[in-house]
Structure 1
Amino acid sequence: MKVVAINGSPRKSGNTELLLKAVLEPLAESGWETELIQIGGKTIRGCCGCHKCWENKDKRCIFGGTDIFNDTFAKALEADAIVLGSPVYFTDVTTEMKAFIDRAGFVALGNDCALAGKVGAAAVTLRRGGSTHAFDTMNHLFFMSQMVVPGSIYWNMGFGLRPGDVVQDEEAFRNMKHLGEAVNWLGKMIKAGNVPYPVVKEGELPPEPAQNE
């Protein structure tokens, strides 16, 4: 089984990366193939709502040739579980993470709900406030894409200002360890059940908006 963790922080080896690695550790120990993908600080544009991904049905964005979205989304499609991580920037996720969420959700919805049935989890780092808002933003992708979200022992967040400060938040790392174990349990239960997820039928999808909206 495979899990990808997508880091929305522009800081390599920063607090968000430390939390994501803590989530991946129990999964690696349980035999999962793990990959950490850095999107923070890299070029990734927002969604323009052109609906070409719905027309082409190729699970790609037509603007992907200019940035990292298509390569990142392709790895997400191959995975059984996706973990998103972002620091709080002005009470929400980073611009890179928001761009990925908007485009991934749009492409998935218009391509037979391509993320349906996968496990989704999110983790947030912050100095002081805005954590639950950023946490909700990432969870919106999972819920709107028919993914399955495991709970953990508390909100999936860690506190720290400077790079590395989050290691002092012992409760956060206990939470991340349990979150990784929960993803492992849920992923393996889904795999063992071998029951297809009830994806949305073509006629049940939201209508395409008019081009002038």
Structure 2
Amino acid sequence: MKVIAINGSPHKSGNTAAALTRVTQRIEKEGIETKLVQVGHWPLRGCMACGACKKIGRCALGDDAFHGLMDEMAAADGLLFGAPVYYASIASGMKAFMDRAFYSTGARFRHKVGGSVAVLRRSGGIATFNQLNNYLSISEMFIAPSQYWTIAHGAAPGEVLEDGEGLEIMDALGANMAYLIKLIELGRGKIEEPPVLKKTRTNFIR
């Protein structure tokens, strides 16, 4: 069993990384392997809505590193996403990554356990937390809960480790992710998964 954690911050060792590490440490205590990958510094452009991924099975803009990470994520049991808050929203690099990852590969994430973490100085945490979870929800992932919204505060690098309540929230998220992953593993082959339903696309133009 394995969890891939995605650091959407441009800073490798900043507060987002620290918060994600706190979650992964708790997951590892339950005997589940984790891997932390930083993508916030990648020179990613946003999704072009070209639709090529539906034909070739992968993002047409992706390089070997991007495609390799998509394969790792598709093979994992859980996916954890962390984003810093910029202007009360997901940082642009992480937004580009999420758009492309989920549009091109989201169908392969179905029924994986997911978790989201927003890291900020002061405001915009709930908006960013909800934005991250939108990707998980539409992909039919199982979103792990915590004892509060999974948001941690800090400005200077390392300050998030002084957010005592935030650290407890990260611990609870890690424990719940591990618990859900184990439940799914126990039921694999014993409980039939619901089928993928056909999606009907509509708009409001009459």
TM-score above 0.5: yes
Q: Is residue 2:170 matched to residue 1:176? A: yes
Secondary structure at the counterpart of residue 101 of structure 2: helix
Structure 1, unaligned stretches of length 5 or more? Answer: none
Correspondence for 2:5: 5
Distance 1:121 1:139 in 2: 8
Percent of residue pairs identical: 37
Distance 1:163 1:73 in 2: 29
Answer whether contact 1:108 1:145 (CA < 8 A) is retained. no
Correspondence for 2:62: 64
Change (3 A) 1:196 1:16: farther
Taking the TM superposition and a 5 Å limit, the aligned residue runs for 1:193-204 are 193-194=187-188, 195-201=191-197, 204=198
Q: Is residue 2:139 matched to residue 1:145? A: yes
Answer whether contact 2:4 2:78 (CA < 8 A) is retained. yes
Correspondence for 2:83: 86
Answer whether contact 1:15 1:163 (CA < 8 A) is retained. yes
Task: For residue 64 of structure 1, report the CA deviation from its aligned partner.
Answer: 0.7
Instruction: Give the residue type in structure 2 aligned to 1:69.
Output: F
Runs (4 or more) in structure 1 with deviation over 6 Å come to none
Which has the higher mean CA deviation after the structures are superposed, 25-34 or 135-144? 25-34
Structure 2, unaligned stretches of length 5 or more? Answer: none
Answer whether contact 2:53 2:60 (CA < 8 A) is retained. yes
Task: For residue 74 of structure 1, report the CA deviation from its aligned partner.
Answer: 1.7
Q: Deviations over 1:96-116 (max 9, x none)?
A: 21112111221135xxx2111
Instruction: Give the residue type in structure 2 aligned to 1:23.
Output: V
Match of 2:158 among 138, 155, 164: 164
Distance 2:46 2:202 in 1: 18
Secondary structure at the counterpart of residue 114 of structure 1: helix
Secondary structure at the counterpart of residue 142 of structure 2: coil
Task: For residue 68 of structure 1, report the CA deviation from its aligned partner.
Answer: 4.1
Change (3 A) 1:160 1:24: same
User: For this pair of structures, how many residues does the alignment match?
Assistant: 201
Q: Deviations over 1:167-191 (max 9, x none)?
A: 1100011111111000000010011
Match of 1:133 among 127, 144, 156: 127
Secondary structure at the counterpart of residue 90 of structure 2: coil
TM-score (norm. length: structure 1):
0.89
Root-mean-square deviation (Å): 1.8
